[in-house]
Amino acid sequence: MKSYLASRFVVLRDQERCIQCRVCVRQCGYDVHAYDSEAGDVFSCDERCVGCHRCVVFCPTQALSVRENPLSYRANANWRPEVMEDVLRQAETGGVLLTGMGNDKPYPIYWDHLVLNASQVTNPSIDPLREPMELTTFLGAKPEAVTLDPETGALATELPPQVPVAVPILFSAMSFGSISLAAQESLARAAAEAGTLFNTGEGGLHRSLHAFGEHAIVQVASGRFGVDPEYLEEGRMVEIKIGQGAKPGIGGHLPGEKVSAEVAATRMIPVGTDALSPAPHHDIYSIEDLRQLIYALKEATQYSKPVGVKIAAVHNVAAIASGIVRAGADYVAIDGLRGATGAAPKVMRDHVGIPIELALAAVDTRLRQEGIRHRVSLIAAGGIRNSADVLKAIALGADAVYIATAALVALGCRVCQMCYAGKCSWGIATQNPYLTRRINPSIGARRLANLLRGWSLEIQEMLGGMGINALESLRGNRLHLRAVGLSESEMRVLGVRPAGE
Partner 1 sequence: MSDHDLLSSDPDQEIDAHGVHYRDLNARIRQALQRGPCQRLALRHVCGQRYIGTGLRSHVRIEIHGTPGNDLGAFMDGPTIIVHGNAQDGSGNTLNSGEIIVHGRAGDITGYAMRGGRIFVRDGVGYRAGIHMKEYAARRPVLVIGGTAQPFLGEYMAGGVVLLLGLNLQADEPHPTVHVGTGMHGGVIYVRGAIEDWQLGREVGRAELEEEDRVLVERLVYDFAGHFGGDPQAILRAPFVKLFPLYLRPYGNLYAY
82 touches partner 1 by CB under 8 A: no
Cβ contact 388:462 at 8 Å: yes
Q: Taking the complex as a whole, how short is the minimal distance between the CB of residue 292 and partner 1, in angstroms?
A: 6
Q: x/- contact string, 33-72, with partner 1 (CB under 8 A)?
A: ----------------------------------------
Minimal distance, residue 328 CB to partner 1, in Å: 12
- Binding of partner 1 by 158 (CB under 8 A): no
Indicate which single residue of 144, 299, 488, 501 sits in contact with partner 1 (rule: CB under 8 A): 299
Q: Any contact of residue 489 with partner 1 (CB under 8 A)? A: no
Enumerate residues 302-361 that contact partner 1 by CB under 8 A.
302-303, 345
Contact with partner 1 (CB under 8 A) among 90, 123, 316, 487: 90
C-alpha 313: how far from chain center = 14
Distance, CA of 89 to CA of 269 (rounded, Å): 32
84 binds partner 1 per the rule CB under 8 A: no
Q: Which is nearer to partner 1, 33 or 281 (CB)?
A: 281
Element spanning 182, H or E: helix 181-194
SS (H, E, C) 21-85: CCHHHHHCCCCCEEEECCCCEEEECHHHCCCCCHHHHHCCCCCEEEEECCCCCCCCCCCCHHHHH
Stretch that binds partner 1, among 128-136, 260-268, 395-403, 492-500 (CB under 8 A): 260-268
Q: Is 273 in the site for partner 1 (CB under 8 A)?
A: yes
Nearest residue to 170 via CA among 455, 446, 424: 455
232 binds partner 1 (CB under 8 A): yes
Nearer to partner 1 by C-beta: 264 or 327? 264
Given 60, 124, 164, 270, the residue binding partner 1 (CB under 8 A):
270
C-alpha 105/C-alpha 107 separation (Å) is 6
Question: Is there a contact between 33 and 43 (Cβ–Cβ < 8 Å)?
Answer: yes
Q: What is the nearest approach in angstroms of partner 1 to the Cβ of residue 228? A: 5
Closest distance to partner 1 from the beta carbon of 399 (Å): 26
CA dihedral angle for residue 287, residue 292, residue 297, residue 300, rounded to 10 degrees? 170
Residue 264 interacting with partner 1 (CB under 8 A): yes
Residue type, 179: I
Q: For residue 311, which of 378, 361, 252, 253 has the smallest C-alpha distance?
A: 378
- CB of 13 or CB of 241, closer to partner 1: 241
Among 48, 224, 385, 446, indicate the residue that binds partner 1 (CB under 8 A): 224
Q: Which is nearer to partner 1, 137 or 266 (CB)?
A: 266
> Interface with partner 1 by CB under 8 A: which range of 8-16, 31-39, 294-302, 318-326?
294-302
Which position among 19, 118, 211, 268 is part of the footprint of partner 1 (CB under 8 A)? 268
Nearest-CA neighbor of 354 among 174, 495, 493? 493
CA 37 to chain centre: 44
Interactions with partner 1, residue window 178-207 (CB under 8 A): none
Of 131 and 230, the one with the shorter C-beta distance to partner 1 is: 230
Number of residues counted as binding partner 1 (CB under 8 A) = 45
Strand partners, 68: 9
Residue from 295, 368, 446, 453 binding partner 1 (CB under 8 A): 295
Backbone angles phi, psi at 65, to 5 degrees: -145, 155
Q: How many CB atoms lie within 10 A of CB 261?
A: 10
Q: Does 124 help bind partner 1 (rule: CB under 8 A)? A: no
Is residue 282 involved in binding partner 1 (CB under 8 A)?
Answer: yes
Q: Does 296 bind partner 1 (CB under 8 A)?
A: yes
Q: Where are the alpha helices (DSSP H) in 235-352?
A: 261-267, 287-300, 317-326, 346-351
Which run of H or of E encompasses 254? Answer: strand 252-254
Kindly state the smallest distance separating residue 224's Cβ from partner 1, in Å. 4
Q: Smaller CB distance to partner 1: residue 120 or 273?
A: 273
Cα 445–Cα 443–Cα 186 angle in degrees, nearest 5:
35
Contact 198, 219 (CB under 8 A): no
How far does CA 92 lie from the centroid of its chain?
A: 32
What whole-number distance in Å separates Cα of residue 336 and Cα of residue 396?
Answer: 14
The residue ranges that bind partner 1 (CB under 8 A) are 89-90, 92-98, 222-224, 227-230, 232, 253, 255-256, 264-265, 268-270, 272-274, 276, 278, 282-283, 292-293, 295-297, 299-303, 345, 420-421
